[in-house]
Amino acid sequence: MDTNVVIYVLSDSIGETGEQVARAAASQFNSGKYEIRRFPYITDEEQIVEIFEEAKEEKSIIVFTVVIERLKRFIIMKAKEYEIPAVDLMTPVLDSIQTVVGFQPKRESGLIRRLDEQYFKKVEAVEFAVKYDDGKDTRGIKKADIILVGVSRTSKTPLSMYLAHKHYKVANVPLVPEVPAPDELFEKDTKRVFGLIANPFKLNEIRQERLRSLGLSNNANYASIDRIEQELEYSKQIMERLQCKVIDVSNKAVEETAGIIIDIMKENFGED
């Protein structure tokens, strides 16, 4: 390979894929050196013309990962006009996938980056929910997008995880009469706090089942109606102090409760 060969990488996104492929191909030629010049975020024909004007002065190759049809056609046309070799990395793969799946690609630039960003946002939210589950660390209250409060077995943890998969950072705080609610809770924007309550008899069933699964007697105070009603009364007092939205989860699936919370968050903050 001549020392003056320049590979121009054009992309309507960041161009990482094109550059990696170009480097991988160029590495197969041991003689000489090469230079790669990456031009990301190509959005109009004028940019393309400027690149070809530069490329015509050198021994050059054009490599492009452009999915916007208008720009792709323009690059191919200019490559013929300037007699510069041009390699379209995306079209053969897109055409093959289209043949198999039977419908056309979206042809939107930067989709893989957006998918990656969404994935890592979800992972971060899930890790947050685990770290700040069940009031383990009250510092999470200040950082959370959503705070869930309620007595034991009101679906705080599964709801936290479901909302985390919707990219919300959620901390949940158990309310127990013998344990004062954390001060941080009363400093939080009440529009981000949601109180969960349930029918005491429904909670009684759930708690008895929980005790059985742990091999414990279902006659424990934890599952008694009197104890549950005492806890619910205390939790309602805290929720009233917080002036937060209260949701009865007695007959609601986690998805249904999450949907209510998400709708309220969108209304309050325009968040998705």
- Whether the Cβ atoms of residue 119 and residue 166 lie closer than 8 Å to each other: no
**113 in a known ligand binding site:** no
pLDDT in tens, 88-111: 998 888 888 888 888 776 666 666
- Whether the Cβ atoms of residue 84 and residue 32 lie closer than 8 Å to each other: no
- 226: DSSP letter: H
**156 in a known ligand binding site:** yes
- Domain annotation for the chain: domains and CATH numbers: 5-109 (3.40.50), 116-269 (3.40.50)
**107 in a known ligand binding site:** no
pLDDT in tens, 137-181: 999 999 999 999 999 999 999 999 999 999 999 999 999 999 999
**155 in a known ligand binding site:** yes
Examine the pLDDT at 247 and tell me if it is beyond 70.
Answer: yes
- Whether the Cβ atoms of residue 250 and residue 198 lie closer than 8 Å to each other: yes
Nearest CA to 222 out of 234, 206, 238 is that of 206
- For the chain, percent of residues with pLDDT exceeding 90: 67
> Residue 116 contacts by C-beta under 8 Å, 6 or more apart in sequence?
none
> Residue 174 contacts by C-beta under 8 Å, 6 or more apart in sequence?
134, 135, 149, 150, 151, 152, 156
pLDDT in tens, 25-38: 988 876 668 899 99
pTM of this structure: 0.62
Placement of tokens 């890790």 in the chain: 127
**188 in a known ligand binding site:** no
**150 in a known ligand binding site:** yes
